Structures are given as structure tokens and as C-alpha cells.
């Protein structure tokens, strides 16, 4: 009883301290860790800038509900949320990644409230502690991969669903959060139908509630544009523009590219095996998703989650509020078996799993009494080791230091074509991002190496070319990496070096 009284007196102070810690590790040196800029980040940021200033994406679509992007689409919600920061700070890595970091902090706050609502003050603080220092969540909050914000909206929807058990009006909040998740990442179309149908079947009394039908109508209204866009891209229907809003036609539907549908039973079984391996090894081989040694949730993550689940089903049968969280975990695990596995694509799993890790840690601390400092110290040590590893050797994307200056120098020096190195992935997107090219100029002049492909790659637009050439006419200039310049130094004239990039005149 004395411990509960102490926790009641200090709960808010501890929660604030943990939220400050969560904010610090997600916001400090945001443009330095991870190093460089990923091409998906550049694409998302450029689209947000283009929408903010021109009301269209780079494909020329006015206010699309889904970005055409590479051809097979990119999710729009991250770009929408980034527009205020880009308006304030300009288009740069900080303004772009700030959205991810703030969404990460918001997810920590939602996790705390969910844990507190379902399992009490101890469970809430344990869940908040684990998500605040979780390797996957920290790393996902520090770069602008647009799909990484979907778990926040699903978790917020689950919290609203839990709270609706006491006040049914919270279903309106759930409707908004779940609808927004559909604009955050396409795998929400796998998760939400199953979750919502099963939840309603388990709570048929909701059908008698007026607020349920209002929430259902709100969800349908908000989800209708992206739902119709998905229908267009699953059929032969053309793109539609209505009241300035575009439902674009992609070169290929993204869900088909990331699911195991059509692979047969053997493909599904192989994918289940891959997902099981991912859960155990906590790595998909990509350093920007998981660091060796720390993984997704440290070595104790799965045992704690198992303890939390056992406690949920065995010790908490009178706790109906935890039902939606259990359902979210079960549905996300089923959906993960149908999505081609990597950490980002199955990200719907990780936050429900973290919740049950928090519940498991709360159970452990309640059982070992004064020895509770030991598991908390283990969490602190694992976090310190992860942070040291992350800072010592951060994940690295395309180095853009000096690239904008190099392109500007080439533009000024060239009377003709500007050739940009093809030794970086999708170089055209970095030109769009760094030089802030009006989207209509790009849409009117772009030519692709592979038109109609799910991942179209621009060969040229405007005066830029990206085919690995070095200039064909006097007056052409090229932007090369240092490695390329070393190979061609004997017959290229250097006009300047900017970081790892060299501007050269055509031979």
C-alpha cells in the first residue's frame, strides 16, 4: 500500500521526466543522426514543399490523396503534417525530420495513457519507460520515412477505443485516428478492416448506440477519398480530380507489391517463417532499422511481452479495457504474416508488443519487490549501450553535404546541360529537394529510363541529366563524386569541390 501511495504522489513527475527523456533522444542532433538523407525522405519533403507552394505534387496532380511519387505511390499524411514546419523553417532536413520526432514523442504520451488506462499507474510508467528508450522507436522517430508514423495513429485509435468503454463519444476520436492511419501507410488497409469487424462482433451492443453510428459515418467520410483511390488502382478506372482533389492512377498498386497474395500457400508459409525469424532475431539486416546487439526491443523484449500477455489473460480478466489492445496485437500479428517482411512494413506490430512489454515489466516489479532496481538497471544499461553504438556509428544515407552548392555551381557555369552523378540513388529527387524546382517544370519535361515501372527513375528533366554521362557539348557541366573524378581527372576540368562532390566542365 505504501508503494502505491508513493507512486500516486510521484506518477506525474516521473511521467514528465520520461517524456523529457523521450523528446531529448528523438530531437537532439536530428540532422546528424542518421547521417545523410534517404531518397524516400527527400521525396516526402519535396512533395510537401510542392504542395505548400504550388498545390500539386511532382506528377502534376492537384492536392492528391496519395502521392504518385516513384510511380507506385507514396503515402501523403507525412507530407501534410510536415507542411507547417517547412513553412516555418524552409525545406531542409530539420523541418522534414521534425515531424517524425514529434510524432515519436506523441506516441510515447499515448502509450503512457494507454498503459495507465488499462493496467494502472505502474503499467503506464513501465510502458512509457520502455517506449522512451526502445531502439526501434527511437530510430524510426529520427528519419522521415513516411510509413513510420502509422503506428502512432493506430495506437491513438486503440486508446480512444479503450476510453469509449466508459464514454462512447470517444469513438469519434477513434474514427479520426483510424481514418488518418489509412493515409499514413497502405498496410493499414490490411489491419483496420479485420480489427474493426472483429471488435464490433465482440461488442454488438455498440449497434444500439447513436454515437457508434456517428463515428462510423465520420470514419467512412474521412476514409472515402483514399478508399476510392485504392479502388481506382485495383481496377481499370482512370484517375479522378474532383473539387481540386486528385485520386491518382499509379503505375502499380503498392499493396500488391508488399503483400504475399498471389504467391500461393508456400509463399505465405515462407513469409510466416521470415516474420517469426524477425521477431526472434530482431533484425532485417538494415542498420537504419535495427542495430546489431540492440535489435528492436533489446534481449528482454519477448520474455517481458510474454509475461504481460499471460498477466492480461490470466490475472486481468475483470479488466475489459485491455481487450482492444490484445485484439490489436493479434490482428497485427496476422496481418504481418501477409505482408512481405521487413521492419518498416510490419510496423503495426511493434507498439502493441511494446505495450505488453510494459505490462510484463510492471508484473515483474510487483513480484520482486526491493529487487526491482535490477531490471530497471538492465534497461538503463541496454539503453546506454544502444545510444553509444548509435552515436559512434550512425546509420548513413546519401551524403548531401555540399551537393546543393555543387549543383548551383554547375548551373551557373553551364551554358547547356547539367549532368548529375548516378552514383547516388535516384539523384533527380535530390536535385528537386535541394534546388526546389517548381513541380510543373519537372512534370512537363521529365523523361524516365523505365516509364510505367513501379519504381520509375528519371533520366532527365529540364536541363538536368542523370544517365552517368559527362557532357557531350561545350558548355555542359557535370557534378561528380570524388571517386568518379579520380577516375576521370585526366580529361576533366575541375571547377570546384564541395564536400564529396566535384563540379567539372565537359571535356
Is there a contact between 239 and 232 (Cβ–Cβ < 8 Å)?
yes
Rounded distance, CA 434 to CA 47, Å? 12
Q: Are residues 346 and 453 in the same domain?
A: no
Q: What is the pLDDT of residues 82-94, one digit of tens each?
A: 999 999 999 999 9
Q: Looking at residues 43-57, what average pLDDT do you find?
A: 98
Dihedral angle of Cα 228, 229, 230, 233, to the nearest 10 degrees: 120
Let me know whether 71 and 164 are in one domain. Answer: yes
Segment 385-440, tens digit of pLDDT: 999 999 999 999 999 999 999 999 999 999 999 999 999 999 999 999 999 999 99
388 lies in the same domain as 410: no
Residue 74: inside a domain: yes
pLDDT of 318 reads 45
What pLDDT was estimated at residue 2?
A: 59
* Same-domain status, 148 and 22: yes
Distance CA 328, CA 315 (A): 19
Q: Provide CB contacts within 8 A for 315, sequence distance 6+.
A: 363
Count of the separate structural domains present in the chain: 2
Give a yes or no: residue 41 inside a domain.
Answer: yes
Residue 64, SS3 per DSSP: strand
d(CA 181, CA 154): 6
Answer yes or no: is pLDDT of 275 > 80.
yes
Confidence at residue 31, expressed as pLDDT on a 0 to 100 scale: 96
At 295, phi and psi to the nearest 5? 65, -150
Whole-number Å distance between alpha carbons of 37 and 35: 7
Strand pairing category for 493-498 and 501-505: antiparallel
Do the Cβ atoms of 16 and 399 come closer than 8 Å? no
* Residues facing residue 242 across a β-bridge: 245
What percent of the chain stands above pLDDT 90? 84
In a domain, 350, yes or no: yes
Extract the runs of DSSP E, i.e. beta strands, from 124-273: 240-242, 245-247
Confidence of residue 441 (pLDDT cuts 50, 70, 90): very high
Note the pLDDT of residue 428.
98
Q: Round the average pLDDT of the chain to a whole number and report it.
A: 93
Picking from 392, 417, 442, the residue at the C-terminal end of a domain is: 392
Report residue 29: phi and psi, to 5°. 50, 45
Q: pLDDT per residue over 181-240, tens digit each?
A: 999 999 999 999 999 999 999 999 999 999 999 999 999 999 999 999 999 999 989 999
The last residue of one of the domains, among 371, 392, 413, is: 392
Cβ atoms of 343 and 395 within 8 Å: the answer is no
The grid cell for 340 is 512481405
Q: What is the average per-residue pLDDT within 254-282?
A: 83
Quick check: 29 pLDDT over 50?
A: yes
Shared domain check, 427 and 311: no
Given 346, 363, 392, which residue is the final one in a domain? 392
Reading the block at residue 379, the C-alpha cell is 534497461
Same structural domain for residues 210 and 343?
yes
Q: Is the pLDDT of residue 1 over 60?
A: no
Q: For residue 444, count CB atoms less than 10 angstroms from its CB and return exposed for 0-12, middle for 13-18, buried for 19 or more.
A: exposed
Do 322 and 426 fall into the same domain? no
Residue 68 has phi, psi (to 5 degrees) of -65, -40
Given a cut of 70, is residue 179 above it in pLDDT? yes
pLDDT (tens digit per residue) in 444-492: 999 999 999 989 999 999 999 999 877 667 889 999 999 888 887 667 7
Domain membership flag for residue 144: yes
Q: Let me know whether 206 and 248 are in one domain.
A: yes
Q: Are 499 and 426 in contact (CB under 8 A)?
A: no
Cell of 449: 529510363
Same domain, 230 and 338: yes
**Percentage with pLDDT > 70 across the chain:** 96
Lowest-confidence pick of 103-117, 143-157, 252-266 = 252-266
Q: Say whether both 7 and 43 belong to one domain.
A: yes
Q: Does residue 398 lie in a domain region?
A: no
Residue 67 in domain: yes
Q: Is residue 430 part of a domain?
A: yes
Given a cut of 70, whether residue 353 has pLDDT beyond it is: yes
Give CA–CA dist 216/221, Å, rounded.
9
In a domain, 397, yes or no: no
In a shared domain, residues 381 and 449 = no
- Return the pLDDT at 492: 79
Asked if 193 and 327 sit in the same domain, the reply is yes
Find residue 418's DSSP bridge partners: 464, 477
| Structural domain boundaries, residue 19 | 2-392
Amino acid at each position: 500500500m505504501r508503494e502505491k501511495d508513493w507512486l500516486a504522489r510521484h506518477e506525474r513527475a516521473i511521467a514528465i521526466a520520461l517524456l523529457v527523456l523521450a523528446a531529448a533522444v528523438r530531437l537532439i542532433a536530428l540532422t546528424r543522426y542518421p547521417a545523410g538523407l534517404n531518397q524516400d525522405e527527400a521525396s516526402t519533403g519535396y512533395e510537401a514543399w510542392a504542395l505548400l507552394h504550388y498545390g500539386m505534387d511532382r506528377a502534376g496532380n492537384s492536392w492528391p490523396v496519395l502521392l504518385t511519387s516513384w510511380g507506385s505511390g507514396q503515402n501523403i499524411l507525412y507530407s501534410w503534417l510536415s507542411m507547417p514546419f517547412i513553412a516555418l523553417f524552409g525545406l531542409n532536413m530539420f523541418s522534414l525530420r521534425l515531424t517524425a520526432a514529434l510524432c515519436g514523442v506523441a506516441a510515447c504520451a499515448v502509450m503512457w495513457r494507454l498503459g495507465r488506462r488499462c493496467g494502472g499507474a505502474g503499467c503506464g510508467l513501465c510502458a512509457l519507460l520502455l517506449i522512451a528508450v526502445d531502439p526501434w522507436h527511437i530510430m524510426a522517430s529520427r528519419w522521415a520515412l513516411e510509413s513510420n508514423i502509422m503506428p502512432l495513429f493506430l495506437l491513438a485509435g486503440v486508446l480512444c477505443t479503450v476510453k469509449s468503454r466508459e464514454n462512447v463519444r470517444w469513438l469519434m476520436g477513434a474514427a479520426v485516428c483510424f481514418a488518418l492511419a489509412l493515409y499514413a501507410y497502405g498496410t493499414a488497409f490490411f489491419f483496420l478492416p479485420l480489427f474493426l469487424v472483429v471488435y464490433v462482433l465482440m461488442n454488438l451492443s455498440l449497434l444500439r448506440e447513436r454515437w457508434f453510428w456517428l463515428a462510423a459515418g465520420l470514419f467512412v467520410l474521412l476514409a472515402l477519398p483514399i478508399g476510392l483511390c485504392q479502388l481506382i488502382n485495383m481496377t481499370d478506372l482512370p484517375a479522378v480530380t474532383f473539387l481540386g482533389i486528385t485520386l491518382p492512377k499509379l503505375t502499380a498498386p503498392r499493396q500488391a507489391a508488399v503483400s504475399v497474395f498471389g504467391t500461393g500457400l508456400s509463399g505465405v508459409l515462407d513469409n510466416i517463417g521470415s516474420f517469426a525469424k524477425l521477431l526472434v532475431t530482431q533484425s532485417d539486416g538494415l542498420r537504419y532499422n535495427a542495430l546489431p546487439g540492440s535489435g528492436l526491443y533489446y534481449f528482454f523484449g519477448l520474455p517481458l511481452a510474454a509475461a504481460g500477455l499471460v498477466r492480461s489473460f490470466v490475472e486481468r480478466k475483470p479488466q475489459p479495457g485491455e481487450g482492444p489492445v490484445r485484439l490489436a496485437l493479434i490482428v497485427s500479428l496476422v496481418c504481418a504474416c501477409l505482408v512481405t517482411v521487413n521492419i518498416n512494413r510490419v510496423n503495426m506490430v511493434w507498439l502493441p508488443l511494446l505495450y505488453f512489454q510494459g505490462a510484463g515489466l510492471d508484473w515483474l516489479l510487483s513480484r520482486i519487490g526491493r529487487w526491482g532496481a535490477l531490471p530497471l538497471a538492465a534497461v538503463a544499461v541496454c539503453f546506454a549501450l544502444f545510444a553509444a553504438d548509435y552515436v559512434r556509428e550512425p546509420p548513413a544515407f546519401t551524403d548531401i553535404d555540399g551537393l546543393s552548392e555543387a549543383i548551383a555551381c554547375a548551373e551557373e557555369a553551364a551554358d547547356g546541360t547539367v549532368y548529375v552523378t548516378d552514383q547516388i540513388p535516384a539523384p533527380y529527387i535530390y536535385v528537386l529537394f535541394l534546388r526546389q524546382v517548381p513541380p510543373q517544370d519537372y512534370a512537363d519535361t521529365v523523361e524516365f529510363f523505365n516509364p510505367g515501372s513501379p519504381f520509375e527513375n528519371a533520366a532527365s528533366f529540364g536541363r538536368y541529366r542523370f544517365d552517368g554521362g559527362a557532357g557531350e557539348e561545350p558548355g555542359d557541366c557535370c557534378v561528380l563524386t570524388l571517386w568518379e573524378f579520380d577516375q576521370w581527372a585526366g580529361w576533366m576540368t575541375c571547377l570546384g569541390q564541395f564536400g564529396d562532390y566535384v563540379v567539372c566542365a565537359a571535356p
